[in-house]
A and B are shown apart, each in its own frame.
Chain A
């Protein structure tokens, strides 16, 4: 079912987090986070609720600015070369970014347009391979939570980004969906891509790196 191996990623990219810290309402959420990602890495961010997993992923997506520290993409500072970085990432946040009154197909269409996606895959094929066959033209508000999540995951099949940032991607999907997503992640890593994800689930992927996020007790 997986439409993997369509393209080879051109270079071996690398992401470095250099002592990232984030402060909210005068209290330090986390600090001194140093990480590096090589091509082929799948990194699972772990930690209890409220420790800042979503915040860290949003910092990675550049939707949030870290209070201190910086991100380096292939050696260049992301804050300065944001455009280059944004062309290489794919972020699925806590909120799905689906328009409820549009169908999965229409949602995929606008997303593909703003990402200038030129892959020859047809929308029906993509959605069909995610088990949304027959639901392509039904407005999202009429779909179940799991089906909506699948409609969002369809973006993973068209994106050419090498770094996937996924916030709780396994929410609301069934066993088959979990297996499909794991297979997608494996195929992506095999192509040389990277993924950072937060989940409480044990992944069925070999060589997953785990990063336990610990709360910072300091108060500034």
Chain B
């Protein structure tokens, strides 16, 4: 059972290591956009602190969306996806391995970078822990849900726009609860509620997304 999972995880991490330049894209995007905010809006610390939770979350979400489009693309183009679909290993486990690899190379770096960028936006001290915890779970949810859209649109020539339309509504709860956890913490309220919802979203998408993505990929291959 676990053979396919381990093989694909190792292969994708190796591929990511070989194509380091491409992999760094979402992280660089996140960094640049958040750096530009104080220049474009205001350098005033109190006003930046007000918008910091929202800005950080929106940009992390967009960075994740940018990268999820390519999740199955190269595999589809070079015939590897076909080999995976007809291999005797369960497809959903291999899909889960690909999603995990995607999270390790985009979601995790975004999460680790977020506190540094929070400092640049003078995020109040109370916001850091919920920001990191929320992003840690939230980016995993984004990778999982994004994979469904990526699987559905992989065979389309210009699937990018459609992908955004499909996954945006699914991304919204993540953004709402993620940003509100940080905001509530800054305002001095308890963050247990939003973080618990985030955990529930993660558990739900972990259960559903690998199967949905595997189904979507099969449909795309038959197209």
- Residues of A near any B CB (own CB < 8 A): 61-65, 83, 86-87, 89, 91, 93-102, 106, 110-111, 113-116, 139
Contact = CB atoms under 8 A, between A and B. Distances in A.
A161 to B, nearest CB: 9
Q: Pick the 8 closest A-B CB pairs, nearest first.
A: A95-B79, A113-B7, A97-B79, A110-B11, A97-B83, A101-B18, A86-B88, A87-B88
The SS class assigned to the A binding surface is: loop
Given A64-B222, A106-B14, A114-B3, 14 more contacts: A63-B82, A63-B85, A64-B221, A65-B222, A87-B88, A94-B79, A96-B78, A97-B78, A98-B78, A99-B78, A101-B15, A102-B15, A113-B4, A115-B87
B6 interface: yes
A116 B3 contact: yes
13 contacts: A63-B86, A83-B88, A91-B82, A93-B82, A97-B79, A101-B15, A106-B11, A110-B7, A113-B4, A114-B3, A114-B4, A114-B7, A115-B88
Contacts of B4: 113-114
A98 B81 CA distance: 10
Contacts of B10: 110, 113
A97 B11 contact: no
Contact of A99 (B6, B15, B85, B222): B15
Contact of A114 (B14, B18, B77, B89): B89
B3 A93 contact: no
Contacts of B87: 86, 114-115
A29 to B, nearest CB: 14
Contacts of A94: 79
Contact of A101 (B19, B79, B86, B89): B19
Contact of B221 (A63, A89, A99, A101): A63
A91 B86 CA distance: 8
Given A97-B79, A99-B11, A101-B15, A113 B3 contact: yes
B220 to A, nearest CB: 11
Interface in B65-99: 74, 77-80, 82-89, 94
B83 A111 contact: yes
B143 to A, nearest CB: 21
A220 B10 CA distance: 47
B54 to A, nearest CB: 38
Interface string B1-37: 0011011101100110011000000000000000000
Interface of B: 3-4, 6-8, 10-11, 14-15, 18-19, 74, 77-80, 82-89, 94, 221-222
Nearest to A61: B86
B222 A114 contact: no
A13 to B, nearest CB: 15
A69 to B, nearest CB: 16
B94 A114 contact: yes
Q: Which of B10, B87, B94 has the most CB of A within 10 A?
A: B87
A63 B77 CA distance: 15
Nearest to B7: A113
Contact of A100 (B6, B8, B14, B78): B78
A65 B222 CA distance: 7
A115 B14 CA distance: 19
Contacts of A114: 3-4, 7-8, 83-84, 87, 89, 94
Given A102-B14, A102-B18, A110-B10, A97 B88 contact: no
A65 B221 CA distance: 10
Nearest to B89: A114
Nearest to A116: B3
Given A64-B222, A110-B8, A114-B3, A93 B14 contact: no
A97 B80 contact: yes
Contacts of A89: 86
A79 B89 CA distance: 16
Contacts of A99: 11, 15, 74, 78, 80
A2 B69 CA distance: 43
Contacts of A64: 221-222
Nearest to B17: A101
